[in-house]
Amino acid sequence: MSQHPGIGKTLVAADHQTNYLEAGAGNPLFLLHGSGPGVSAWTNWSKVMPDLADQFRVIAPDIAGFGFTEFKSGSKYDMKLWVRHLLGILDALGIDKASFVGNSFGGALAIGLATFAPDRVEKLVLLGTPAGEFEQTPGLRSATEYEPSMENMERTMRLFPFDQSIITEEMVRTRYEASARPGAQEALSQLIPKPNPDGPTILKGFPEAVLAKVQAPTLVLHGREDKVVPVQCGWLLAHAIPKAEFHLFGQCGHWVQTEHRARFLQLVRDFCA
């Protein structure tokens, strides 16, 4: 089998052998992937990295426990570890300050970094990012029920975009291969809670009081038909973060960067320039 296209360069951060993709030159721009079975920097960002690399030094890491970065079964995977891991990546690359584009879980991680180490963050772009309290959606529940197979991966992925025709066999295959890695499901189970059998499962993102402490200028992007992270989370982010602006995409699910690629690129280029 040929090497997975998501395998790039390697560095050590927070004691984890860390896989990351890098392209371009200029001001550093980090792309932070979401969660879900088989997720990696490659699955989230490969279609937009070359375009952004024309203007920025683009770095897309696999966060500890995800993609092709090391998973340690004895480690507790939580926001503290992930922020420490991200800071370790910045330090290993000699980057003092950068802008961060975060998709879903990656957006939450970017907020965590912005509140813990605000001096390291230039600007934030948050796509389909959880915030406040909300009921577990079909898209998030599917991640807890997933067992690695091509059929199950395709079924899960169909919950993400508004227009399911954008899902190709290659997308399903590369994500399935990553999901079948040893430890991948164990890591994911630490992030997404199992559904409550006796009624709705309530999930908690950063509360409004924490969001109000984010100092960085922030662009919030959200799909109106997002079935993974409800659009109310986008409104809350835009309301609570002091220097926020909000762009709502109609006929768009959870993958703004894929479903409305050209507009996404234009907005990120203009905002992070």
Q: Which residues are catalytic?
A: 104, 226, 254
**3-state class (DSSP) for residue 125:** strand
Other Cβ atoms less than 10 A from the Cβ of 255: the count is: 27
Alpha-carbon torsion, ordered 19, 24, 25, 29, to 10 deg: -60
Q: Which residue has the tokens 């772009």?
A: 125
Q: Which of 116, 199, 103 is nearest to 160 (CA)?
A: 103
Pairwise CA distance, residues 179 & 170, whole Å: 14
Pairwise CA distance, residues 53 & 47, whole Å: 11
Pairwise CA distance, residues 128 & 260, whole Å: 13
DSSP lists the bridge partners of residue 31 as 101
Helix (H) or strand (E) holding 44: helix 41-45
